[in-house]
Amino acid sequence: MKKIILLIALSCVFTTKAQYGYGNNNGRQRQNQLPQTEQKAPEPNFDVERYIGIVNYDIEKAAKKSSIKLSSNVGKEFSKVLTKYNKDIKDITRINTFVLKSTKDLVENYQKKVIKTGDNSSQKKVMTKMGENLKPISEILKKEDLILDKKMKVLLSEKQYKKWIKYNRKIYKIFPKEEA
């Protein structure tokens, strides 16, 4: 009988030690752990160029994705068309650098304010201002995109054109439809 009581008492001691970790410094280890810090929200990074559809094509990659050999006649014409398009887009971007930068700053400052205060009541005002700033640039880009799309439709086969459109969707470039 004494042995059974001793066995029960020892098993209780061992199970409590195993469950609660008495004697193996778990209490101290918890105190020595670094306190968890709150994660900061990421800094706002508004990509204006992507928002309005400014794309500078990597000609080799675009040709590869569209199954066009640059050494062929079609490839050479494809390269010329994209080089001219890239040059035109760079000129548009350079001319409108101030508008793009100010719009980017406007949106990022608004986002920082919302993160800090949680008040997004001025969102409509900021979106309207952003639309007013970017509308002229957007119209110019739409014309350039229509010209590029027409040239590509004429230049490429139907299969290559489908691949060209698919590649453009992956880089977030959508060509506007012609207005009748």
- Asked whether residue 35 is assigned to any structural domain, the reply reads no
Question: Quick one: 75 and 151 in the same domain?
Answer: yes
For 43-79, the pLDDT digits (tens) are: 788 888 888 888 888 989 988 888 888 888 988 999 9
pTM of the model: 0.70
What is the pLDDT, as a whole number, of residue 134? 92
Q: How far apart are CA 59 and CA 37, in angstroms?
A: 46
Greatest mean pLDDT among 67-76, 88-97, 117-126, 168-177: 88-97
Q: Sign (positive/negative) of CA torsion 15, 18, 23, 27?
A: negative
Domain count, the chain: 2
Nearest to 145 by CA among 52, 58, 31: 52
Residue 78, judged by CB atoms within 10 A of its CB (0-12, 13-18, 19+), counts as: buried
- Asked whether residue 123 is assigned to any structural domain, the reply reads yes
Question: Quick one: 12 and 81 in the same domain?
Answer: no
180 pLDDT above the threshold of 50: no
Question: Quick one: 24 and 112 in the same domain?
Answer: no
13: domain range? 2-28
Instruction: Using a pLDDT cut of 70, give the percent of the chain over it.
Output: 82
Within 13 Å, how many C-alpha atoms sit on residue 23's CB side?
Answer: 7
